[in-house]
């Protein structure tokens, strides 16, 4: 508390603007733990976090933690804040500009999209960047730099004092980074596109090239799959597997040996599954790679999960959850059970991470039990399941409850014992967030019931349910027309389709268990689908690919979804019928002609039943044949 000071003729208790600001700064300094700095520490080391706290962009506890870590590692506070994702990069740069411009010259940003040739010729050093600004220094004049960069970057350029030492560090750093667009794989626009592994590449280099291309294309997984005489490599990009390389088995055996060596698993064991991991640096950024081997008939399939730390830093607002404010309200409870529902690969872990990152982790003790731990969040205690020593979900939850937790994250409720322990933790005053496999709110409730959770416990403890699916978003570069940037798919990135049911009163639980949509008090999933279609975030083909026949009941409630349902089903029937016509050479006589007429008429007017073939005119069959020929 600070005492009020009478100033001049002002009224008693008034505080001048200058004194008020000074008192606030002193209070912040005490809260942040400032102390006299030795000569080795640059002045203003705490200025950046103080600015962010002043602007309500950073909590005091998080700021103090960042300052402590920067002193321990002897790195700038801004670097620590950027690594933890506690504050958006734009806000950190703004804080540096407003508080300590000298520190900006000491910062380097290697995540650049400028040609190396231009960087070297003009000796350009990129210090920081936002969506609208590029802070750089150069040995050349700033006007020449603006002119040279104009074709590649239209952001506003801010000049920073040049230093030869920073230039040498920056030049070495960009050597590990590929040119803009280098490594992008044209997986769909060119039928005869080369493999991502250039001809003549040494086998010892194949693994590094695969990792580089996976990073360049944002792939989540690398699949190495042996066949009889060759082997195939697939990248999973935006949830879809794509073939990128096919070569002789000699190379496969050498690549497998290198993967196993890096992952520290037995290179000679091919009869049983093995798990391992390794860390690497790709394009100047650290990655963790999780490896799983799967025995097949005579050979092994290897799956590498590529874990990019930047994915763990995605904020909730970037995931595409339409009613994100309601989800935040659910997680403001001090205790109870919160569920994230979805299938494997629906982004549940990403949503959990983003939710945890918004929690005041300096004030609350957060424990997670996962299988496996993919991304580590500062201030959170992560525990890995270990079946070999008996560390399963129930045992971990029991241990957490003795560790004075505020929030417990359960990777998955998959059996009655885990469900019982999660309910017990929620009953004893903890907030429990968990995932569960189901396809909707009602199915999630039935799943809990099947795991032995009484409805009375749900009425008292359940705080809310989030159901989510992932769909691909239309490529902004080509607007879905297919280009290299979207790998010839027409889609770039993914977003969440969701529904959220917040428990406002105990009686809501009975409504959540109802399969009759008339009882639902929340907006159902199909309304979020309709919204994203109308806003052109995604398209009907992607929605049908994701939900398929599950769309049929929604088509009765929404004109938009009815149009998608009808159009996409017709497209697939036409493809099937064309294949049927092409395969009719195996038939003979009247049956061949009958099937041909049915298939061609379907192409002309859409799906029909086989029993209705008497209604199909020869004219319709000719129209079908003509439309097929035109295509």
Over residues 133-159, the pLDDT tens digits come to 888 888 888 888 888 888 888 888 888
Collapsing DSSP to helix, strand or coil, 289 comes out as strand
Which residues on neighbouring strands pair with residue 472, listed in sequence order?
A: 494
Q: What is the predicted pLDDT for the residue at 229?
A: 82
Q: What is the predicted pLDDT for the residue at 340?
A: 97
pLDDT of residue 411 exceeding 70, the answer is: yes
C-alpha span between 54 and 359 (Å, rounded): 19
- As a whole number, mean pLDDT of residues 77-87 equals 73
Q: What is the predicted pLDDT for the residue at 584?
A: 55
- As a whole number, mean pLDDT of residues 602-612 equals 52
348: tokens are: 């549940």
- Sign of torsion over alpha carbons 22, 27, 29, 34: positive
How does the average pLDDT of the chain come out, rounded?
80
Q: Which residue has the tokens 């299988």?
A: 371
pLDDT of residue 510 exceeding 50, the answer is: yes
C-alpha span between 63 and 77 (Å, rounded): 9
Q: What is the predicted pLDDT for the residue at 23?
A: 47
Helices and strands (H, E) in the chain, number of each type = 24, 16
Q: What is the predicted pLDDT for the residue at 76?
A: 72
C-alpha span between 69 and 437 (Å, rounded): 39
Q: What is the predicted pLDDT for the residue at 185?
A: 55
C-alpha span between 342 and 444 (Å, rounded): 9
Pick the residue with more confidence: 399 or 285? 399
pLDDT of residue 336 exceeding 90, the answer is: yes
Q: What is the predicted pLDDT for the residue at 191?
A: 45
- As a whole number, mean pLDDT of residues 179-208 equals 67
Q: Where are the alpha helices (DSSP H) in 33-186?
A: 47-54, 60-73, 77-84, 89-99, 101-104, 116-122, 142-149, 164-174
Q: What is the predicted pLDDT for the residue at 19?
A: 43
Least confident of 174-178, 205-209, 382-386: 174-178
What's the predicted TM-score (pTM) here? Answer: 0.69
Q: What is the predicted pLDDT for the residue at 48?
A: 75
Return the number of other C-beta atoms located less than 10 Å from residue 217's C-beta: 18
Q: What is the predicted pLDDT for the residue at 177?
A: 56
Q: What is the predicted pLDDT for the residue at 21?
A: 44
Q: What is the predicted pLDDT for the residue at 71?
A: 78
Q: pLDDT, tens digit, for every residue of 106-136?
A: 667 766 767 777 888 888 888 777 777 888 8
272: tokens are: 């049983």
The DSSP output letter for 11 is P
18: tokens are: 């200058």
pLDDT of residue 535 exceeding 60, the answer is: yes
Q: What is the predicted pLDDT for the residue at 598?
A: 66
179: confidence class by pLDDT, cuts 50, 70, 90? low
C-alpha span between 258 and 601 (Å, rounded): 56
Least confident of 197-206, 328-337, 525-534: 197-206
Question: Is residue 388 exposed (0-12), middle (13-18) or buried (19+ Cβ within 10 Å)?
Answer: exposed
Q: What is the predicted pLDDT for the residue at 194?
A: 58
Q: Which residue has the tokens 């799967």?
A: 294
pLDDT of residue 469 exceeding 90, the answer is: yes
Pick the residue with more confidence: 71 or 289? 289
pLDDT of residue 189 exceeding 70, the answer is: no
Q: What is the predicted pLDDT for the residue at 282?
A: 84
Return the number of other C-beta atoms located less than 10 Å from residue 471's C-beta: 22
Q: What is the predicted pLDDT for the residue at 12?
A: 38
């Amino acid at each position: 508390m600070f005492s009020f000071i009478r100033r001049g003729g002002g009224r008693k208790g008034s505080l001048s603007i200058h004194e008020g600001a000074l008192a606030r700064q002193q209070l912040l300094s005490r809260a942040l733990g400032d102390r006299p700095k030795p000569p080795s520490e640059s002045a203003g080391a705490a200025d950046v976090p103080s600015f962010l706290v002043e602007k309500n962009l950073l909590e005091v506890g998080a700021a103090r933690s960042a300052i402590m870590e920067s002193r321990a590692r002897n790195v700038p506070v801004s670097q620590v804040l950027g690594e933890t994702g506690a504050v958006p990069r734009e806000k950190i740069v703004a804080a540096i500009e407003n508080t300590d411009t000298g520190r900006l010259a000491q910062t380097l940003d290697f995540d650049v999209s400028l040609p190396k040739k231009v960087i070297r010729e003009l000796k350009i050093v990129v210090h920081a960047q936002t969506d609208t600004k590029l802070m750089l220094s150069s040995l050349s004049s700033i006007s020449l730099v603006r002119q040279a960069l104009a074709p590649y970057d239209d952001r506003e350029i801010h000049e920073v004092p040049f230093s030869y030492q920073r230039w040498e560090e920056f030049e070495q750093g960009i050597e590990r980074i590929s040119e803009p667009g280098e490594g992008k794989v044209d997986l769909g626009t060119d039928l005869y596109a080369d493999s991502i592994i250039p001809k003549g590449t040494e086998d010892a280099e194949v693994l590094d090239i695969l990792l580089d291309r996976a990073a360049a294309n944002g792939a989540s997984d690398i699949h190495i799959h042996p066949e009889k005489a060759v082997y195939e490599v697939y990248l999973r990009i935006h949830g879809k597997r794509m073939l990128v390389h096919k070569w002789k088995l000699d190379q496969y055996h050498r690549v497998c040996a290198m993967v196993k060596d890096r992952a520290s698993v037995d290179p000679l064991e091919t009869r049983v599954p093995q798990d391992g991991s390794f860390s690497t640096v790709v394009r100047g950024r650290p990655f963790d790679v999780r490896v799983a081997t799967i025995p097949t008939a005579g050979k092994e399939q290897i799956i590498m999960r590529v874990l990019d730390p930047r994915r763990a830093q995605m904020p909730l607002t970037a995931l595409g959850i339409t009613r994100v404010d309601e989800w935040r309200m659910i997680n403001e409870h001090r205790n109870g059970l919160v569920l994230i529902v979805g299938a494997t690969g629906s982004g549940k872990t990403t949503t959990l991470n983003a939710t945890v990152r918004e929690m005041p982790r300096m004030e609350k003790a957060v424990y997670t039990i996962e299988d496996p731990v993919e991304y580590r969040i500062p201030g959170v205690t992560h525990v890995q399941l270990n079946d070999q020593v008996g560390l399963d979900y129930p045992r971990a939850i029991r241990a957490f409850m003795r560790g004075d937790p505020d929030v417990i994250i359960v990777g998955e409720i998959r059996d009655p014992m885990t469900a019982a322990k999660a309910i017990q933790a929620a009953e004893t005053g903890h907030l429990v967030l968990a995932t569960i496999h189901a396809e909707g709110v009602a199915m999630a409730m039935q799943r809990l019931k099947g795991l032995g959770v009484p409805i009375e416990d749900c009425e008292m403890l359940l705080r809310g349910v989030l159901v989510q699916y992932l769909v691909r978003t239309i490529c902004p570069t080509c607007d879905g027309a297919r280009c290299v940037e979207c790998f010839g798919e027409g889609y770039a990135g993914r977003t969440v389709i969701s529904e959220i049911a917040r428990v406002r009163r105990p009686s809501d639980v009975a409504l959540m268990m109802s399969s009759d949509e008339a009882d639902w008090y929340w907006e159902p999933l199909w309304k979020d689908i309709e919204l994203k279609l109308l806003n052109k975030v995604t398209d009907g083909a992607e929605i049908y690919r994701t939900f398929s026949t599950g769309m049929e009941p929604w088509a009765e409630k929404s004109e938009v979804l009815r149009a998608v349902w009808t159009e996409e089903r017709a497209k697939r029937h036409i493809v099937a019928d064309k294949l049927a016509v092409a395969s009719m050479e195996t038939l003979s006589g009247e049956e061949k002609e009958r099937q041909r007429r049915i298939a061609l008429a379907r192409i002309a007017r859409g799906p029909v039943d086989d029993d209705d073939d008497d209604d199909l005119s020869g004219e319709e069959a000719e129209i079908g044949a003509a439309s097929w020929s035109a295509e």
